[in-house]
Chain A
Amino acid sequence: MYEAMTASVTASMPVSESAYGFTQTDIEGQALFSLPFGDIVNFLTPYTAVLFVFALTFTIIALISKPERQVDTVMGGDAYYTKDISRETLRFQRFMAIACGLATMGGIMAGDVFNFTLFTAFIGITNIGIVAAVKNKHILDNAFEYGLLAMIGTLPLFVGAALVLATTGTLSMWILFTPEVAVPLFAKLLLVIGVIAEGMAPVFVAKAEITRAPGAPYILMVHVSSLLIFLRVIEIVISM
């Protein structure tokens, strides 16, 4: 069974025949395929497959495109200036954007609660890297605040995963998504507020400068990753 699965990881596998016994959940349907790494068995469902394609598309865009150059006009005059992005900043931001895209894809595919929280923390770190590379006082101020948020956010995030393990005895979503296993509301709440901080939701609320930083499409990776990881955590919390 193991050899057969590793040989055809990309082939779609009907769940009734899989070794993990996945059951139908409310919003995402049956698993399309599974990718086992020991106890961590990643999977894609029709719902997460859509998110995965989004993440993949934006990662490829970040990989091949050149950055935008924002133009500022001076109020009351004809003058304008273009914000230039240095070669070093470009290379660093592109690296971080690709890492962020890979982390997002990992988080979307995660079939294990602790693995999911790790990928979420990964997204938080790469987001800090992307925005901290912009040399602008206001943006760096925001990036500092966001860094603090992400640091605080890891506490509820990992406590949530630890509580899931303590109260159910397992971390695998294949088992947690079955109706027999009940995850306490507190653990779900902790997971959600942890992801809220890592996905920089409070920064969007304040309409902070960070969300309009120059350097698209690399900056856009921040928005894409946070949006996709929110969609994923909501799916996890509803299914658990």
Chain B
Amino acid sequence: MQLIIRKVSRILQNHNNLTAVYALVVIIVAAIGLISIAAGEITFEKDQLYPKTINPDSPLNPYDRGGSPFVPADIKAQYPGNFPAIGYITGYLSPFATALIKISPYFGTTIVAHPGGILDEILYATRGLDTIVETSILFVAFTTAMFLFRRDEE
């Protein structure tokens, strides 16, 4: 018993082994998960809060969430009362985007990528705090990279 403890602590005290030990733990947990999925304990809930349907005929495909300018789209939200203007954001298109729709049915990605195109309601309004935190993470990561890169210049 003592021998095992000694062996385990010898592995754990070396910080170069940490990643391997942790990866092993992740693999064990993933194995447990695969077994529980096979056993049928984990099932997909049909009634999803954020449903996504793809309509291949829409010129906004695959970003179409419905609605037209100044007519609200039907957007599901956990707490619709927190956002009175729900549905208007994703419905709005700039005149340029509306013109693009008429030219070709294959400009969906272009319309999303240019300013004034589709704004995903769930991404930027009802779950907007997530997007703010995501960009903050990127900002802090770039700050670290910048500091480490410029430190050697002096």
Contact = CB atoms under 8 A, between A and B. Distances in A.
A39 B77 contact: yes
Given A115-B130, A122-B133, A207-B13, A149 B45 contact: no
A208 interface: yes
Interface stretch (B28-36, B54-62, B91-99, B106-114): B28-36
Contact of B12 (A38, A103, A153, A206): A206
**Residues of B contacting A: mostly:** helix
Given A186-B32, A193-B29, A1 B81 contact: yes
B128 interface: yes
Nearest to B136: A122
A106 B16 CA distance: 32
A186 B33 contact: yes
Interface residues of A, number: 65
A167 B29 contact: no
A118 B83 contact: no
**Residues of A contacting B: mostly:** helix
B128 to A, nearest CB: 6
The 7 A-B residue pairs whose C-beta atoms are closest, nearest first, are A169-B45, A129-B144, A38-B126, A37-B129, A186-B33, A39-B78, A208-B15
24 contacts: A2-B81, A37-B129, A38-B77, A39-B77, A39-B78, A39-B127, A40-B127, A88-B147, A115-B129, A115-B133, A122-B133, A125-B137, A125-B141, A132-B148, A145-B16, A149-B18, A152-B26, A167-B42, A167-B45, A169-B49, A170-B78, A184-B42, A186-B32, A202-B18
